[in-house]
Every structure is written in C-alpha cells, then in structure tokens.
Amino acid sequence: MKYNVNKKGYYGEFGGAYIPEMLYPNVEELRQKYLEVMYEDSFQKEFNQLLKDYVGRPSPLYFAKRLSEKYNTKVYLKREDLNHTGAHKVNNTIGQILMAKKLGKNRIIAETGAGQHGVATATVCALMGIKCIVYMGEIDIARQAPNVARMKMLGAEVRPALSGSRTLKDATNEAIRDWINNPVDTHYIIGSAIGPHPYPDMVTRFQSVISEEIKWQLKEKEGRENPDYVVACIGGGSNAAGTYYHFLENEEVGIIAVEAAGKGIDSGESAATSKLGSEGIIHGCKTLLMQTPDGQITEPYSISAGLDYPGVGPMHSHLYKSGRGEFYSVTDDEAMTAGLELSQLEGIIPAIETSHALAIFDHKKFKKDDIVVISLSGRGDKDLDTYIDYFKLK
Ligand SMILES: *Cc1c(COP(=O)(O)O)cnc(C)c1O
C-alpha cells in the first residue's frame, strides 16, 4: 500500500502521534483497539444500520446533466449534502460514538471552529444519550451563533476557550487538557482526517463509505467502477479522504484536491496549505501546515469556515508530496461563482466549502468522455447569509 497508512501510523513521511506524554495512555488505548472494534460484526451491523436509517445512506450519485454539457465532460455529484445534518461529517461522528460506546466511554468531548463538527457531535450524543461537551473559541461562539444554538438545543454543553486568539486552536488545547484530566470515561471525537494516529486512519475509514458507494453506483450507471477523476475540497481532509479511499492504490483514477486560496495565494489571507505550507506538527501529527519561519502557526483565512484551517491531514500531505494527487487552490470569488452556477444549472445550493471543489472547471479541462466524480460535501443552507451578502440578493 503506497498511499495508505502503514502500521506505525504514517503516510509516507507524514502522520504519527506527536502528543504530550500525559495523553499517551488515551491515544494508545484507541490505537490498540480501533481496528478490532471497528470490524466486529456487531459494530459493522449497528454502524451500517444507522448510516441507512438515521443518516439516509446510500447518498445518491447524481449525473449532473446541465453541468456536464457546460463543461463538455461527464460530471457525477456524490450527494453528501443529502445526509442528515447536511454534510459528510455525520458519517464520522456516528462511527466514533459507536467506538466510544464499545470502549466503555460515557462522556464525549470535541472541539469546533465554525460549529459544524460540534453540531454533528452533539447530534450523535443526543442519539445515544451520552453527555457532550464542545469546546469552542470565544470569538467563534460570537461569530457562529446559530450553530451554538443548535448544539445547545441538542443538549450539548458549549464551553468557551478564553485563551490565545480564542479560536479553533485554543479550543483544541482546551479539549486536549480535558482529555488528559478525564482519561478513563471520556472519548475525544476529532472531526477531520487529522490528529495523532490512529485518528486520521479511523476517520478516513468511517468516511470511506463515500467511495465504497461510488464504486457500485458507478458500475450500475456506467458499467465500470472506476471514474477517471475524483474531486473533493480539503479543509483537514475528511470528505476528500473518504472520496479517495477505495481509489488510492488504483492509479488510473486521478485524485484531485481543491484547497481554499482565500483572497489569493499571495494575499496573506488564504488557506492554501499545499502552496504555502511546510512540514511541521499540528494537532498531534506531522504534516504540511502554514507557519512562520520560526514555527508559529499562521492564521488561515477562507470565506468558507470549513476550509479555514492552517494544515491538511497527513494522507493529503503524502498525496501532494508523492505527486499522486493534483492540488488546486481556488479563491473566494471563484468558489462563490461556482456555487451560484451549480444552484442555477442543477437546482442544488452547495456549501461554500463544496463550491471550491466545483470551481475545478476554472482550473482544469477534462476530456469529453472523462467521468469526473465530485464530492458534494454539504448543503448551502448554513451559508445562505454569506451568499446573500456576496451576491447582494437582498
Ligand atoms: C467541514 C466541512 C468541510 C471540510 O472538512 P474536511 O474534513 O476537509 O472534509 C467540507 N465541506 C463541508 C460541507 C464541511 O462541513
């Protein structure tokens, strides 16, 4: 396996578990047990049942006829926007809440920036009747009031992180501190394909249902399992990892990753990690991240909250470095235009994160017979105010 994780938790030179000594027992317990638990029959049965009846899977693989005509190629959209809670994130939180239960944990912690992962976590905690504490920077709490309200309505406690820049990384620090203090009863649900090993691999496996479904759905529609390209936007990289997973080792399938260039790669306001990043340690793993020459993490920027992250998961750093993946950086303006275009060509309003993936057509020309599958990671309801302001729709 050239592109998947190895036994030590590395994708090429990236990954591993760079954690404080005091966190070692928690992470080690998970590392020793996650694969065994995840592939038990009873786990698989419950996971698949919930994905079906609660999340609404399989999500459709939709042939986008008008979009295909416009770009003179065959475009399929994998409709993660139709999942319960409106995005792919719930695939992972369902998996992790079941993992927590099997490990005998009765308390869940999570950190969130924009609140999407917090909502997905609060949702599954309500589903299972498990106590949920979500750490969130004080600034983010003010900026993301609707998601804070959702979490509270779902019964979660939202604890403000008051230190530092009072945003995502400070919330992460608080969550880690909590986990160190509550090693026995608590599971920490990380929301993307990031974190110390085994998190990137565990999250990827839960999200890999996306590419598992693409294979049989495409076989039904086109008579072949493999598309020519799979395309996804990348924040930390979980929808992308799930979309690529079953195609990683199959090199005829092109892998395309789209990251947020914000106001432009060289504007000082971007999240274009592949272009601007260098190797370092973030969130417990070695990966590419945006940092100053002396190793301080740079404040990222993107119009989409979900892509506003200063690093990418270790799988993606390896896909980039090895050349297996093609990486593109899409600006706010390009993404917003692509989101409007999908709305008007297909009647689907995408999340702004997803709009970045849809802007691939500004950057790459596909052949007429190419089959291009794009991960439609989420729906745009949460972003309506941003679209309204941007396009002056009011
Ligand atoms: C959170 C989010 C993303 C980015 O997260 P990844 O882990 O990179 O997938 C992308 N799209 C949507 C709709 C999101 O909510």
- Report the CATH number that the domain containing residue 229 is assigned in CATH: 3.40.50.1100
pLDDT attached to residue 12: 98
Which of the following is catalytic: 105, 286, 377, 382?
Answer: 377
Q: Are residue 166 and residue 293 in the same domain, yes or no?
A: no
Q: Are residue 144 and residue 213 in the same domain, yes or no?
A: no
Instruction: Please tell me the residue having the least CA distance from ligand 1 atom 5.
Output: 235
Residue 6 falls inside a structural domain: no
Which residues 6+ apart lie within 8 Å of 69 measured at CB? none
Q: Are residue 150 and residue 231 in the same domain, yes or no?
A: no
Q: Are residue 252 and residue 295 in the same domain, yes or no?
A: yes
**DSSP H or E segment with residue 22:** none
User: How far, in Å, from the CA of 28 to the mean position of ligand 1?
Assistant: 27
Q: Where a domain ends, among 150, 179, 202?
A: 202
The yes-or-no answer on residue 89 being catalytic is yes
Tokens in use for 239?
């929808």
Q: Are residue 93 and residue 83 in the same domain, yes or no?
A: no
| Among 22, 27, 94, residue whose Cα is nearest residue 55 | 94
Residue 316 falls inside a structural domain: yes
Task: Give CA–CA dist 77/178, Å, rounded.
Answer: 39
List, for residues 99-132, the tens digit of each pLDDT value: 999 999 999 999 999 899 999 999 999 999 999 9
pLDDT range class, residue 30, cuts 50, 70, 90: very high
Which of the following is catalytic: 74, 78, 89, 169?
Answer: 89
Ramachandran region, residue 86 (left: φ > 0; alpha: ψ -120 to 50; beta: rest)? left
Residue 8 falls inside a structural domain: no
- For the entire predicted model, the pTM comes to 0.98
Residue 10 falls inside a structural domain: no
| Among 373, 380, 339, 389, residue whose Cα is nearest residue 359 | 339
Q: Where a domain ends, among 142, 174, 202?
A: 202
Residue 117 falls inside a structural domain: yes
User: How far, in Å, from the CA of 359 to the mean position of ligand 1?
Assistant: 16
Which residues 6+ apart lie within 8 Å of 317 measured at CB? 11, 12, 14, 279, 287, 288
Instruction: Please tell me the residue having the least CA distance from ligand 1 atom 13.
Output: 378
Whether the CB of 378 sits within 6 Å of ligand 1: yes
User: How far, in Å, from the CA of 116 to the mean position of ligand 1?
Assistant: 8
Q: Which amino acid is at 50?
A: L
Domain count, the chain: 2
The yes-or-no answer on residue 111 being catalytic is yes
Q: Are residue 34 and residue 97 in the same domain, yes or no?
A: yes
Among 43-57, 287-301, 327-341, where is mean pLDDT lowest?
A: 287-301
Q: Where a domain ends, among 174, 202, 230?
A: 202
Q: For the chain, what percent of residues have pLDDT higher than 90?
A: 95
Q: Are residue 196 and residue 267 in the same domain, yes or no?
A: no
Q: Are residue 165 and residue 249 in the same domain, yes or no?
A: no
User: How far, in Å, from the CA of 271 to the mean position of ligand 1?
Assistant: 14
Residue 2 falls inside a structural domain: no
Q: Are residue 222 and residue 362 in the same domain, yes or no?
A: yes
| Among 51, 144, 32, residue whose Cα is nearest residue 97 | 51
Ramachandran region, residue 79 (left: φ > 0; alpha: ψ -120 to 50; beta: rest)? beta
Residue 321 falls inside a structural domain: yes
Residue 213 falls inside a structural domain: yes
What range defines the domain where residue 152 resides?
20-50+89-202
Q: Are residue 213 and residue 170 in the same domain, yes or no?
A: no
Whether the CB of 353 sits within 6 Å of ligand 1: yes
pLDDT exceeds cutoff 90 at 169 = no
Please report the atom of ligand 1 found closest to the CA of residue 191.
7
**Test site for ligand 1: of 88, 202, 231, 379, most ligand atoms within 8 A of the Cβ:** 88
Q: Are residue 191 and residue 249 in the same domain, yes or no?
A: no
pLDDT range class, residue 165, cuts 50, 70, 90: confident
Q: Are residue 145 and residue 234 in the same domain, yes or no?
A: no
pLDDT attached to residue 143: 85
User: How far, in Å, from the CA of 381 to the mean position of ligand 1?
Assistant: 14
